[in-house]
């Protein structure tokens, strides 16, 4: 009986032998190596060869390790699913095919082709087949233009910049040029070195669950499977081929639209939206959630696909300003994002735009409350988790007294926090000024939060020459660090100078916006000298507006 896990070291010629026929499963992503990575591989091989005298026998050279591959393979069967290592196996198949097609010696070319192509044996019931099969959507092209004898010669040089993102074509042309530039003798040594002295550590598991547990034992040059790859494998592995293919395509469409990091973030927030608990491991939490509650197909069709669209909206600043009251735009400026999980679920469940706006406004108020309280991550997650629990129970999260709402005591506390030094904390300044700007102007053309910052309008003391914007006795605590002294500034503004006059400072902060200033800055356009009273009035107006809007 074959053990559940087996590892051994094999040269490439043994890897590409009758013992193995490799298949890239549907859940694997497309071939992703760039010409830079293919070039690094060739450079490594050339460096190894060039360390030895040209007359040194290849079998006297030290071995070169390609790293590990992780396979799922049944005992006594050559067929093996590639869990990790597909990028290197694909690139090496391309390299061997190129060497085969450039080779002028027919016997050598035939031997190289045997590394790419397995001959059928009627005595054991096998037919001719290639030793590496890519995903169905890639395999026909790979077989026709890489693996078939002479195929690599048919690809024109101008394929280096194809219309699509076809890394196979780019690397094929790139490596062909590099190999054609070699002398016949050096190319022969490269061929022998790759076949005889290049090794893999082949890790074979009898089942996928074992392979997943060891997937972190990764090679030094491959592109690792991400958590999303493994979850995709969990979903498609139990489906019929046609459904698995459709599901994998839809998964990759979403991942392509959001990017790998964005997609992982979507999975994280999706899990929180359905568990209400801190996500410790996306993979582990998914494996717990889906089999015990939501079915695999339902997870993709009913949750992941609609959530992807909502997630894109939640992080898209332009869309958020155009489609809601501005609350979402402000939420995007916070330095925490645990609010996304509940937002995904409520916006998916509720189709009425007016209720979307009400939810986002209440969520924004709650986030300001947590921000001003300086609640840590665990405390925020606990509060947002209660919102998720309310949604899971089928209760109306918009009703008074829900975890999304603020109690009378919390409203009183928030009002007190607005009138405290907490309002001037650095992490609070941009969200609060954006909120005020939207309340005063309703602007839909604000720059993205990352293109804005907050500066202080008045300075501590006047320079030797010229009049500065100053305040009186209550400078430090009550005025200079207060809400009334904060202004929104576009990041293109220059830095302050040491001897800055009132006119110079006003011009630096707001001069370029004089024709269309921020609504929060209009009252300061003509300010100079001692502006204590004006800043106090401005602060009072700001706080009154916030308290009124948030019903405090």
Half-sphere exposure of 353 (CA within 13 A, CB side): 5
| pLDDT of 123 over the 80 cut | no
Residue 327: what pLDDT? 87
3-class DSSP state of 356: helix
DSSP bridge partners of 288: none
Closest residue by Cα to residue 469 from 526, 542, 538, 515: 526
Residue 1: what pLDDT? 40
pTM of the model: 0.65
Lowest-pLDDT range of 37-51, 196-210, 283-297, 421-435: 283-297
Lowest-pLDDT range of 42-46, 127-131, 319-323, 417-421: 319-323
Contact 70, 85 (CB under 8 A): yes
Mean pLDDT (the chain) is 80
pLDDT bracket for residue 536 (50, 70, 90):
confident
Contact 342, 273 (CB under 8 A): yes
- Mean pLDDT of the 506-530 span: 64
- Mean pLDDT of the 277-288 span: 77
What percent of the chain stands above pLDDT 90? 26
Neighbouring residues of 392: CB distance < 8 A, sequence distance ≥ 6: 274, 276
- Mean pLDDT of the 193-215 span: 77
Contact 338, 377 (CB under 8 A): yes
- Mean pLDDT of the 223-242 span: 68
Residue 79: what pLDDT? 84
| pLDDT of 343 over the 60 cut | yes
Residue 92: what pLDDT? 95
Q: In this predicted model, which residue has the larger pLDDT, 251 or 354? A: 251
Residue 467: what pLDDT? 42
Cα dihedral 316/261/163/101 (nearest 10): 180
| pLDDT of 223 over the 90 cut | no
pLDDT digits 0-9 by tens, 443-452: 666 777 777 8
Q: In this predicted model, which residue has the larger pLDDT, 529 or 484? A: 484
pLDDT bracket for residue 218 (50, 70, 90):
very low
pLDDT bracket for residue 112 (50, 70, 90):
very high
What percent of the chain stands above pLDDT 70? 80
As a whole number of angstroms, the distance between CA 244 and CA 242 comes to 5
Kindly report the backbone phi and psi dihedral angles of residue 360, in degrees, each rounded to the nearest multiple of 5, phi listed first. Answer: -65, -35
| pLDDT of 373 over the 50 cut | yes
Closest residue by Cα to residue 206 from 66, 37, 403, 6: 6
Residue 494: what pLDDT? 47
pLDDT digits 0-9 by tens, 491-505: 655 445 445 555 666
Q: Which two tokens stand for residue 294?
A: 């939501």
pLDDT digits 0-9 by tens, 27-59: 777 888 888 888 889 988 988 888 888 889 988
Burial of 101 (0-12, 13-18, 19+ CB in 10 A): buried
Q: In this predicted model, which residue has the larger pLDDT, 1 or 531? A: 531
| pLDDT of 472 over the 60 cut | no
Residue 293: what pLDDT? 53
Residue 183: what pLDDT? 92
For tokens 């709650």, the residue is 366
| pLDDT of 466 over the 70 cut | no
Residue 363: what pLDDT? 95
pLDDT digits 0-9 by tens, 313-335: 888 766 555 555 688 889 999 98
Contact 240, 296 (CB under 8 A): no
Residue 338: what pLDDT? 93
pLDDT digits 0-9 by tens, 60-91: 898 898 888 888 887 777 888 888 889 999 99
Residue 269: what pLDDT? 92
Residue 515: what pLDDT? 53
Q: In this predicted model, which residue has the larger pLDDT, 286 or 314? A: 314
């Amino acid at each position: 009986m074959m053990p559940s896990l087996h590892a051994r070291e094999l040269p490439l010629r043994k890897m590409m032998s009758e013992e193995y026929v490799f298949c890239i499963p549907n859940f694997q992503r497309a071939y992703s190596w760039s010409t830079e990575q293919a070039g690094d591989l060739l450079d490594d091989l050339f460096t190894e060869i060039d360390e030895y005298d040209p007359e040194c026998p290849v079998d006297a050279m030290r071995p070169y390790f390609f790293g590990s591959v992780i396979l799922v393979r049944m005992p006594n069967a050559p067929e093996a699913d590639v869990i990790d290592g597909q990028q290197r196996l694909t690139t090496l198949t391309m390299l061997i095919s190129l060497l085969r097609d450039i080779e002028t010696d027919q016997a050598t070319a035939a031997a190289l082709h045997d590394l790419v192509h397995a001959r059928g044996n009627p005595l054991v019931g096998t037919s001719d087949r290639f030793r590496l099969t890519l995903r169905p959507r890639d395999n026909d092209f790979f077989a026709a233009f890489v693996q078939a004898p002479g195929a690599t010669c048919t690809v024109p040089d101008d394929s280096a910049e194809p219309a699509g993102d076809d890394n196979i074509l780019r690397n094929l042309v790139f490596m062909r040029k590099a190999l054609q530039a070699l002398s016949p003798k050096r190319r022969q040594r490269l061929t022998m070195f790759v076949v005889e002295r290049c090794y893999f550590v082949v890790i074979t598991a009898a089942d996928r669950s074992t392979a997943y547990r060891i997937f972190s034992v990764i090679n030094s040059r491959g592109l690792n499977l991400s958590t999303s790859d493994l979850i995709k494998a969990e979903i498609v592995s139990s489906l019929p081929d046609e459904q698995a293919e459709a599901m994998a395509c839809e998964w990759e469409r979403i991942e392509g639209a959001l990017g790998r990091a964005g997609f992982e973030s979507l999975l994280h927030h999706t899990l929180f939206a359905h568990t209400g608990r801190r996500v410790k491991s996306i993979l582990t939490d998914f494996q717990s959630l889906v089999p015990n509650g939501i079915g695999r197909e339902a997870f993709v069709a009913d949750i992941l696909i609609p959530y992807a669209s909502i997630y894109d909206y939640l992080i898209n600043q332009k869309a958020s300003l155009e489609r809601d009251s501005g609350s979402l735009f402000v939420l995007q400026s916070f330095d925490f994002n645990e609010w996304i999980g509940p937002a995904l679920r409520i916006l998916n469940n509720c189709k009425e735009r007016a209720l979307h706006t009400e939810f986002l406004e209440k969520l924004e108020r709650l986030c300001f409350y947590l921000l001003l309280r300086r609640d840590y991550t665990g405390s925020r997650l606990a509060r947002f988790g209660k919102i998720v629990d309310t949604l899971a129970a089928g209760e109306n999260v918009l009703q008074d007294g829900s975890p999304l709402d603020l109690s009378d005591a919390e409203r009183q506390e928030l009002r007190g926090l607005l009138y405290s030094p907490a309002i001037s904390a650095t992490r609070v300044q941009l969200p609060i000024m954006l909120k005020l700007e939207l309340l005063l102007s309703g602007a839909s053309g604000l720059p993205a939060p990352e293109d804005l910052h907050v500066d202080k309008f008045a300075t501590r003391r006047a320079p030797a020459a010229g009049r500065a914007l100053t305040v009186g006795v209550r400078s430090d605590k009550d005025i200079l660090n207060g809400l009334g002294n904060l202004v929104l500034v576009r990041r293109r503004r220059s830095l302050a100078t040491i001897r800055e006059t009132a006119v110079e400072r006003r011009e630096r902060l707001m001069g370029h916006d004089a024709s269309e200033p921020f609504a929060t800055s209009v009252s300061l356009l003509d300010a100079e000298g001692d502006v204590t009273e004006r800043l106090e009035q401005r602060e009072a107006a700001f706080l009154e507006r916030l308290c009124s809007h948030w019903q405090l």
